[in-house]
Structure 1
Amino acid sequence: MPAGSEALAGRYGDTARRRLTTRWLLVGLGGFIAIVMIAWAVWGSGLGSKASNLQFTATASNTIDAQHITVSFTVDAPAHTAISCAVEAQNIGFTVVGYDVVHLKPTPKTHQVVTKSLITYEPAVSGSLDKCWLT
């Protein structure tokens, strides 16, 4: 450092002690942000909640006639939990032509197989399970 630099640094606040304090404040702030991000990710993933144990899969669809289709699906969920599932039918252009919500009552079973018949306003070529959620 040139002569007199330490006197200027002391006068205007650029001392080694201040640099060390600033460094520790930045490290602390970075650590705090990291902890908040990790907590948010764990909370957002539903880790440990009943919703994280909910799994559902469409297994089959069968077109009955121009206005009816059946959709079969399985649901794996914690016992004694009420569940609702949205089932839909699509036409050849992938437009939804039939839709219904199936409400499954709480049961001691953890695995359920469900078949739902949908009424459509156009001929459907496929049926699927849109989503399931805890109610």
Structure 2
Amino acid sequence: MPDGAALAGRYGDTAKRRTTTRWLLIGLGVFIAVVMIAWAIWGSGLGGASSTLQYTATASEAVDGSHMKVSFAVDAPANTAVSCAVEAQNVGFTVVGYDVVHLKPTPKTHQVVTKSLITYEPAVSGSLDKCWLS
């Protein structure tokens, strides 16, 4: 009857192969960890200009059956162009009006904007979808 070492050599389960497999798995684990950490840092906006961009909707008012006013505040770095998506919604939360507002670069870091949206059916609420540096 063959011993364990002879069977291992015949079928490929050698100490060298186990060591190689172990190092490949360790390398793969380190690679996945580095990618996840980089993704978390990039996703949080650390170190980028977008981490200083803050925005919030302040008010909305239905003017009539086809117009909605949405007011919002934007805090962005000075002399930086910003774009914001504004939307109006009906009773069923369907978007019935949408527009992108482009704010020109200004030395001010805080801006308050009111945008009048045209809607294709009566809207009951208006909101700020998102803002980004442009």
Which TM-score band applies after superposition, normalised by the shorter structure?
0.7 to 0.9
**Aligned CA-pair RMSD:** 2.4
Where do residues 123-134 of structure 1 align in structure 2 (5 Å cutoff)?
A: 123-134=122-133
Look up the match of 1:110: 109
Where do residues 58-69 of structure 1 align in structure 2 (5 Å cutoff)?
A: 58-69=57-68
**CA offsets 1:70-119 (integer angstroms, 9 cap, x no match):** 11111111111101111122222323232222111111222211111223
Measure how far apart 1:46 and its partner are: 3.3
Could you tell me how far apart the structure 2 residues matched to 1:56 and 1:124 are?
22
Q: Which amino acid aligns with 1:9?
A: A
Instruction: Check if 1:41 corresponds to 2:40.
Output: yes
Instruction: Check if 1:78 corresponds to 2:83.
Output: no
Could you tell me how far apart the structure 1 residues matched to 2:95 and 2:9 are?
73
Could you tell me how far apart the structure 1 residues matched to 2:35 and 2:15 are?
30
**CA offsets 1:39-83 (integer angstroms, 9 cap, x no match):** 233234433222232221111111222232211111111111101
Question: Unpaired segments of 5 or more residues in structure 1?
Answer: none
Q: Which runs of 4+ in 1 moved over 6 A?
A: none
Structure 1 length-normalised TM: 0.80
Change (3 A) 1:122 1:5: closer
Question: Unpaired segments of 5 or more residues in structure 2?
Answer: none
Q: Which amino acid aligns with 1:50?
A: A
Query: How many residue pairs are counted as aligned between the two chains?
Result: 134
Q: Which amino acid aligns with 2:36?
A: M
Structure 2 length-normalised TM: 0.80
State the identity as a percent.
79
Change (3 A) 1:30 1:120: closer
Look up the match of 1:93: 92
